[in-house]
Chain A
Amino acid sequence: MSILRRDMIGPALIVLLLLCVGGAASWLLVAPALSATAQPNYDVTRMVLYYSTLPRLATALIAGASLALSGALFQQVLRNPLADPTTLGVSAGANLALVVVSLFLPGLLGASRDLVALLGSASAAAIVISLGARRSFSPYSLVLSGLVLSLWCGGLSAILTYLNQRYLASLFIWGAGSLAQQSWIIPVSLLWKLAIVAILCTLVIRPLSLLDLGENSSTALGLRLVRLRFVVIAGAVALAAFVTSAVGVIGFIGLVAPTVARLAGARRPAQLIFWSPLIGAGLLFVADSVLQLAAGELGDFLPTGAVTAIFGSPLLLALLPRLKIRHRIQQSPVRQPSRRWTGTRPVLIAAAGVLALVSLSILLGRGIDAGWTLLSGEFSYDILAIRVPKILAALASGAMLAVAGSILQRLTGNEMASPEVLGISAGATFGVAIALFAVAPGLLGQFSFAIIGSATVLAVIFLGSWRSSFAPERILLTGISLSAMVDAVVGVLSASGDPRAALLMRWMSGSTYLVDTTTATVELGAAAVLITMAFAARRWLDILPLGPSPSASVGLPVAKSRLVLFGLAGLMTAAATLTVGPLSFVGLMGPHLAREAGMTRALPQMVGAALIGGGLMVAADFVGRTIVSPYQIPAGLVSALIGAPFLMIMMRKKA
């Protein structure tokens, strides 16, 4: 009996507290309007109160409740405490669909906005969940692919917006989730959609509770698992899609609310599903009313959704140690490639390929009349002076990322580790953002800030994994949530309209545009020195994956060598991120392709990875430079658009 009461009191107190704080903040918003004397005819203060301020508060409550319910349903049905519309990529999918439709088929938006959003989020959910199903819904692989999909959708939306709407940043506002209202239509329509799903929930709560018994027992009790999962996931996806379609992407509420409910003592599925929406409503209510007060003070436009994401993603980080990994991934036996390439032949072939790519990229371009032209004529020298630094910097960055990826994969024993996925690039981005906004930007300054940023992330990962003995799932999730946080910060900055945000956006999208001879020389120099150091450490890299005790017994200083190698990877990532941005995924693809080609030992793998990574980056740069000439697509984005799907296909194959 006492347990039951504690179950109730904790969450109830939280809800009460949130409502009090939110109520106080919104009272401050509403009070001036209420105290104003009523005017007989046209009373604008009252109008704003009734049709803007109050609907906005109501929208915050309802959207918060919907997202939290969606998150709670996802978490319950997938049995994954990290699932929510943001981490599963569902919101980002809806957003991408809306962006695409508003740019190319604007007529569709009027009537069927919800339908478009639903289509987008359902496809995102289908992709992520079908990947997860292959790995029996391992919490880590689900969320990992969800966040990667999120970043991919976000990147694609950004580039589409960037190319099409130079003067109107409306889609940024949408992507960042603003709750501003002018009528009761949005809250009311959201309310009945929420009500329908809530009724559906009460019908499935009992079978849903049985899921906790495990698949076999619940099937034995007569549960139709597939149908139940489908219904619940459909409901959760629909809720997230409706909210995204109505107000934009509101980050992480669906993750935070159920977690708070659980921490407050709610344990059984029915309790979680009951309390989470209430807590979510309270959370968004507080967030939005406080934000409105703050925005009033600053006289600035702050999108609520991106702000909740900034506060939500650190919580994801804080939660990671609590994540019980129920489905440990089986270390798949190393597949012996059918053809084991030895010697220098594969390296020579790869090198020849890269050389061909580089020369093609140097020689071929688009002319004034947009036709393809070979390098020739009076401007050859000047055009070479423009192209060559970019191409070489792309080559050097790609190679460094790929070698860093090889090192990290060997150190963590995880084939999915890479600078991008580990969040080291995100750390470097964060460093540069601080450099741009707080300190005057100079190349050297940006570089040092990037190094500090990536070193900090490395230190966090290193210290964190020291205790959990390098549980790969945790490291990967840490990294990807850091990336999500950086993404949110940039979202806030770009919606605010600060011109420096455009600079940061371009930098994040990985444009080689500003690369000049100096930068290229620095990049090449860094690549030469760091990659040579990595090659020199090949013995460590061959032995360390065997485990700490075998390594120590052959006389390897385990701790020291790990530190050195991690530091090396961090330096390479920082240097490369400066030119190709944080999201290229080359550091993931390079080493993997090298291994697929049969280069399994440390040195051949690193050489192969460097060549492949460099080649990929050069190709991405070439495509971005020529495909919509004279306009350009950043190389980092081109390679991310290829890299993210690649990552997901890989996860599928490894199942």
Chain B
Amino acid sequence: MAVSRRSFLQYATAAAVIPAPLFAQTAGARIVSLDYGLASTLLSLGLTPTGISDLADWDRWVVEPAMPTSVVDIGSSFEVDFEILIALKPDIILTTPYLDELLPRLQSVAKVVRLEIFTPESGPVLPAAIAATRKLAVELGCVQEAEAFLAKSDAFFETCRSRLAGRNPPPVALVNFMDARHARIYSNPGLFHNALERIGVRNAWTRGSNYWGFETIGIEDLSTITDPHARLIAFDPVPPDVFPKLAQSPLWNGLPFARPGHLSILPPALMFGMVNEAMRFAGLLTDLLERDA
């Protein structure tokens, strides 16, 4: 997952060789993002998007980095409000394969940059996100910023790894509770799974999942996790009736997670994001494990 020296050099040379004027036109370009992960990557590259989709829920799912107040909400990514999109006069629209059916219409509005992160073919999500970040940087002409950002993220992961290295961190299972009986669990090849690998924490849930990296399970399936030291990490928002209901379940109380200190709640982090979201998750988890270990 690390930035290999070779790829760094490749991009560095590319940045040096390709004449600057080619990129000059995209500086100050009006960019619209139809994906949370791409939007937060933009911020990290020092670019503020003109508009993003689903802005109303940004603070509920992404939280960090904060979206500047100048950004305009263009509706749900499924049903982008084209009237507002056009009025924003974007130069570039960032999209993902998930929204391919909008592609022809987006192309009539502005130049479309389509980045593949979550597809059946793209494999582990974090490397795909890093590759997408580089591709985005080439398109936008900010390769240096991107490499700096990726180097920073790499250093961040490395710090997390070394902070945890001496503490022998327990394996963790990552879930979102859907109700008192069902949960969504995150595993290979998902973004959070890759982040775990990167910071040297084992995922307690070893079964692979769909290419988004999640699986819907009944809570009894958590019993298939056999490691007695495993920790259960649940992301906010947890529906209010989940823990009272679980406390009454002998099965739950029999699971290793029900023992004190084996269940923690993390603030929301976006599981369908990119490098920033992996960093946020890694940071939150490292803080948690360091505090509790």
Residues on A lying within 8 angstroms of B by beta carbon are 42, 44, 47-48, 50-53, 102, 106-107, 109-110, 113, 166-170, 173-174, 178, 180-185, 301, 365-368, 379, 382-383, 386-387, 497, 499, 502-503, 506, 511, 513-514, 516, 629-632
- Tell me the number of A-to-B contacts counted with CB atoms below 8 Å: 138
Task: Give chain B's interface residue range (CB within 8 Å of chain A).
Answer: 35 or more
Inter-chain contacts of B79 with A (CB < 8 A): 506, 511, 513, 631-632
Q: How far is the CA of A170 from the CA of B239 in the complex (A)?
A: 10
Question: Is B292 in contact with chain A by the CB < 8 A criterion?
Answer: no
Q: Is the CB of B84 within 8 A of A106?
A: no
CA of A169 to CA of B21 in the docked complex: distance in angstroms? 47
Q: Which of A51, A109, A173 contacts B182 (CB 8 A)?
A: A173
Pairs of residues from A and B, 5 with the lowest C-beta to C-beta distance, nearest first: A51-B251, A180-B218, A170-B178, A183-B249, A52-B220
Residues A383 and B250 in contact in the complex (CB < 8 Å), given A42-B228, A113-B241: no
- Quick check: which of B69-77, B132-140, B283-291 contacts chain A, the rest being far away? B69-77
Residues of B within 8 A of A44 (CB): 223-224, 226, 254-255
When the two chains form their complex, are residues A499 and B98 in contact, meaning their CB atoms are under 8 A apart? yes
Contact B81 A109 (CB under 8 A): no
A502 engages B78 (CB within 8 Å) = yes
**Beta-carbon nearest neighbor of A628 in chain B:** B75
Q: How far is the CB of A474 from chain B (nearest CB, A)?
A: 39
**Docked-complex contact B219 and A631, CB < 8 angstroms:** no
- Asked if B251 contacts A48 (CB within 8 A), the reply is yes
State how many angstroms separate the Cβ of A506 from the closest Cβ of chain B. 7
Can you show 21 pairs from A to B with CB atoms below 8 A apart?
A44-B226, A44-B254, A47-B223, A51-B254, A110-B241, A166-B57, A168-B178, A170-B239, A181-B181, A183-B248, A183-B250, A183-B251, A185-B245, A367-B84, A368-B72, A387-B83, A497-B216, A506-B78, A630-B73, A630-B81, A631-B79
* Contacting residue for A47 out of B88, B239, B250, B271, CB 8 A: B250
Of residues B74, B181, B217, which shows the largest number of chain A Cβ atoms within 10 Å of its Cβ? B181
Q: Nearest Cβ distance between residue A175 and chain B, in whole angstroms? A: 12
Do B181 and A368 touch (CB < 8 A)?
no
Give 10 A-B pairs besides A166-B76, A368-B88, A379-B87 with Cβ atoms closer than 8 angstroms.
A42-B256, A47-B254, A47-B255, A51-B254, A52-B223, A173-B179, A180-B220, A366-B83, A382-B86, A630-B73
Task: List, in ascending order, chain B residues with CB within 8 A of A109's CB.
Answer: 239-241
Find chain A residues with CB under 8 A from B244 CB: 110
Q: Which residues of A contact B84 (CB under 8 A)?
A: 366-368, 629-630
Contact of B178 with A42 in the complex, beta carbons under 8 Å = no
Nearest residue in B to A387 (C-beta to C-beta)? Answer: B83
- Pairwise interchain contact A174-B179, C-beta atoms closer than 8 A: yes
Is there a chain A Cβ closer than 8 Å to B54's Cβ?
yes
- Residue from A44, A109, A383 having most chain B Cβ neighbours under 10 A: A44
B78 near A368: Cβ-Cβ < 8 Å: no
Chain B residues within an 8 Å CB radius of A365: 83
The answer to whether the Cβ of B5 comes within 8 Å of any Cβ in the partner chain is no
Known contacts A110-B240, A379-B86, A631-B79; is-contact A185 B248 (Cβ 8 Å): yes
- Knowing A51-B250, A51-B251, A368-B87, say if A180 contacts B98 (CB, 8 Å): no
Residues of A contacting B252 in the complex (Cβ-Cβ under 8 angstroms): 182-183
Q: Is the CB of A180 within 8 A of B181?
A: yes
Q: Are A168 and B83 in contact (CB under 8 A)?
A: no
Proximity string of chain B (45-80) to chain A, C-beta cutoff 8 Å, 1 when within and 0 when not? 000000000101100010000000000111110110
Chain A residues in 8 Å Cβ range of B98: 499
Closest to B268 in A: A167
- B148-191 contact mask (Cβ, 8 Å, vs A): 1 or 0: 00000000000000000000000000001011011010000000
Residue B105 at the chain A interface, CB threshold 8 Å: yes
Q: How far is the CB of B52 from chain A (nearest CB, A)?
A: 11
Q: Which of B54, B176, B216, B228 has the most CB of A within 10 A?
A: B216
CA distance A44 to B224 in the complex (A): 8
Q: Does B23 contact A (CB under 8 A)?
A: no
Per-position binary interface string of chain B over residues 77-105, scored 1 when its CB falls under 8 Å from any chain A CB and 0 otherwise: 01101111011100000000010010001
What is the minimal beta-carbon distance from B70 to any residue of chain A, in angstroms? 11
Q: Which residue of B is nearest A109, CB measured?
A: B241
B263 at the interface (CB under 8 A from A): no
Q: Is B272 an interface residue (CB 8 A)?
A: yes
- Cα distance, A180 to B271, chains bound together (Å): 25
B113 at the interface (CB under 8 A from A): no
Evaluate contact between A178 and B83: CB separation under 8 angstroms.
no
In the complex, A376 Cα to B239 Cα: how many Å?
Answer: 46
The reply to whether B87 and A514 form a contact with Cβ atoms under 8 Å apart is no
Nearest B residue to A503 by beta-carbon distance?
B101
- Docked pose: A113 CA to B218 CA in angstroms: 20
A178 lies within 8 A of B75 (CB): no
B4 to chain A, nearest CB (A): 33
**B246 adjacent to chain A (CB < 8 Å):** yes
A522-B220 Cα distance, complex, nearest whole Å:
52
The smallest C-beta distance from A131 to any residue of chain B, in angstroms, reads 33
Q: Which residues in B have their C-beta under 8 angstroms from that of A167?
A: 61, 176, 271-272
With contact pairs A48-B251, A383-B83 given, residues A514 and B101 touching in the complex (Cβ less than 8 Å): yes
| A48-B220, A168-B176 known; A629+B81 contact, CB < 8 A | yes
Is the pair B240, A47 in contact by a Cβ cutoff of 8 Å? no
CB of A632 within 8 A of CB of B75, answer yes
Chain B neighbourhood of A181, CB < 8 A:
181, 218, 220
B73 neighbours in A (Cβ, 8 Å): 630
Partner of B251, one of A47, A170, A301, A629: A47
A181 to B224, CA, bound (A): 15
**Which residues 220-259 of B sit at the A interface, judged by CB distance below 8 A?**
220, 223-224, 226, 228, 239-241, 244-246, 248-252, 254-256
Question: Measured between alpha carbons, how far is A612 from B219 in the docked complex, in Å?
Answer: 51
Kindly state the separation between the CA atoms of A516 and B98 in the bound complex, as whole angstroms: 20
Q: Which residues of A contact B181 (CB under 8 A)?
A: 178, 180-182
Asked whether, in the complex, the Cβ of B75 is within 8 Å of the Cβ of A630, the reply is yes
A499, B224: Cα distance in complex, Å: 27
CB distance from A22 to the nearest CB of B (A): 19
In the bound complex, do residue B241 and residue A629 qualify as a contact, i.e. CB atoms below 8 Å apart? no
In the assembly, what is the distance between CA of A106 and CA of B252, in Å? 23
